[in-house]
Amino acid sequence: MKFLPLIWAAMWRKRARTIFTILSVATAFLLFGMLQGVIGAFDKAVAGAAADRLTVTSKVSFTEPLPLGYLSQIESVPGVASATYLSWFGTYFQDRKNIVFSFPTEPRTYFAMYPEIKLTAAQFEALVRTRTGAVIGRELAKKYGWKVGSRVPLHSVIWTKPGGSSDWEFDIVGIFDGPANFAQSFYFNHDYFEEARSFGKGKVGWFIVKVQDPNRAGQVSSAIDTRFANSPDETKTQTEKEFTMSFFKQQGDINFIVRAILGAVFFTLLFLTGNTMMQAVRERIPELAVLKTLGFSDTGVLLLVLAESVLLCLVAAALGLALAAAIFPGLKDFIGAVALPGKVVALGIVIAVLLALVTGLPPAMRAKRLNIVDALAGR
């Protein structure tokens, strides 16, 4: 610790160079923080999926509906604790850009399945009682200024009523809190949907199943799929986690693209920081020789140079990550996450130290091998 002022002074020997180096390393960590944060947000959605819940979709494709009659058959499969269902309603509010994630469901079984959705008993009762009732996430309510009692028209791009109208009216009866991935959701009664839709009656989008024992999820999955094998509507049962992951995978390999960009960025950086450190050592050869003359050991000088490199990278990384954390909430509309995950920050710091060691080692070795007499003579 007592050498910190010495290292600090050495770092600022060429002020302009150090500032430029710090800024360019900082931009790399800004990118790292943001890109890695986006991946982290997707991972979090996957991690938030419960291990004891399964989704049952059509084997052909998860966009293909299944008969509602399957519900009682699924419930009777050994190991199934309870089951509920959702359908994809595909709506927007007033303008095509204002997409609302709305789902018709059976409220009693659905909200029992998702205890993480905090709906008050009174609001739940109101939903069950009101045919056109809907409950919505806090974020969604805030976005459009909807309150309990608001009457909300939604336009469905899929479902029509007899007569051809695609406009559906709902009465907001409850606003709930819950994890981020539910904050934009809109749930309403399946019964209303079933009565009013002009086609597709008797079918639902997919089932959600709670298993009694998460360790037996695999067996229960295959038992469900076997039950419907060779029927016109074969099923594909996955854990909620697998289902979410397959959903993201369809977007193409986001991970790969992000990693490729980061690879390019860090390769560039390695070059830049390495160069700065080389230059810094080259210029200071006589000074390092003086340090050795004063009694610093070879290893001591090596550590001094390495410490300088680490300090430089850490300052830069801290700057970049802090900036990323400041900007990140602005991406909320794209990815739905609010804060830069702490894991990303920790990983960033580890990478900064590694970067520093890789780029600092060659000049540090050079400093270690310095021969005092030659160095002082400028040879």
Partner 1 sequence: MSAFKQIGAVTGMSIGSLPQRLGSSSVIVVGIAGVVAVVISVLAMATGFKHTLASTGRADRAIVLRGGSDSELASSIERGNVLTILDAREVRRSADGKPVGSAEAVVIVDLPKKSNDAGSNVTIRGVGEKAFELRPEIHITGGRMFRSGLRELIVGAGAQKQFKGLDIGSHLTLRGTDWTIVGAFESGGDAHESELMADGETVLSAYRRNLYQSVVVQLESAQGFAAFKRALTGNPQLSVDVKRERDYYAQQSADLSKVLSFVAYVVGGIMAVGALFGALNTMYSAVSTRSQEIATLRAIGFGSTPVVISVMIEALLLALIGAVIGSALAWIFFNGNAVSTLGANFTQVVFRLTVTPGLVVLGIIWACFIGIIGGLFPAIRAARLPVAAALRAT
Asked if 279 is part of the footprint of partner 1 (rule: CB under 8 A), the reply reads yes
Which residue among 7, 10, 11, 35 contacts partner 1 (CB under 8 A)? 35
- Dihedral in degrees, nearest 10, Cα atoms 352, 353, 355, 356: 120
Which residue among 109, 150, 160, 212 contacts partner 1 (CB under 8 A)? 160
Cβ neighbors of 28 (< 8 A, separation 6 or more) are 265, 266, 268, 269, 320
How many angstroms separate the most distant Cα atoms in the chain? 97
Of 16 and 121, the one with the shorter C-beta distance to partner 1 is 16
- Dihedral in degrees, nearest 10, Cα atoms 201, 205, 211, 216: 120
Of 147 and 333, the one with the shorter C-beta distance to partner 1 is 333
Least distance in Å: CB of 269 to partner 1?
A: 8
Asked if 272 is part of the footprint of partner 1 (rule: CB under 8 A), the reply reads yes
Least distance in Å: CB of 147 to partner 1?
A: 27
Asked if 221 is part of the footprint of partner 1 (rule: CB under 8 A), the reply reads no
Instruction: Output the 3-class SS for 137-156.
Output: EHHHHHHHCCCCCCEEEEEE
Q: Which helix (H) or strand (E) holds 173?
A: strand 167-176
Residues 191-210 that bind partner 1 (CB under 8 A): 199
Cα separation, 100 vs 185, in Å, equals: 7
Asked if 312 is part of the footprint of partner 1 (rule: CB under 8 A), the reply reads no
Of 120 and 247, the one with the shorter C-beta distance to partner 1 is 247
Cα separation, 182 vs 186, in Å, equals: 9
Of 9 and 19, the one with the shorter C-beta distance to partner 1 is 19
Cα separation, 249 vs 101, in Å, equals: 20
Point out which residues bind partner 1 (CB under 8 A).
Answer: 16-17, 20-21, 23-25, 27-28, 30-31, 35, 59-64, 90, 96, 155-158, 160, 164, 166, 199, 230-234, 236, 246, 249-253, 257, 260-261, 264-265, 267-269, 271-272, 275-276, 278-279
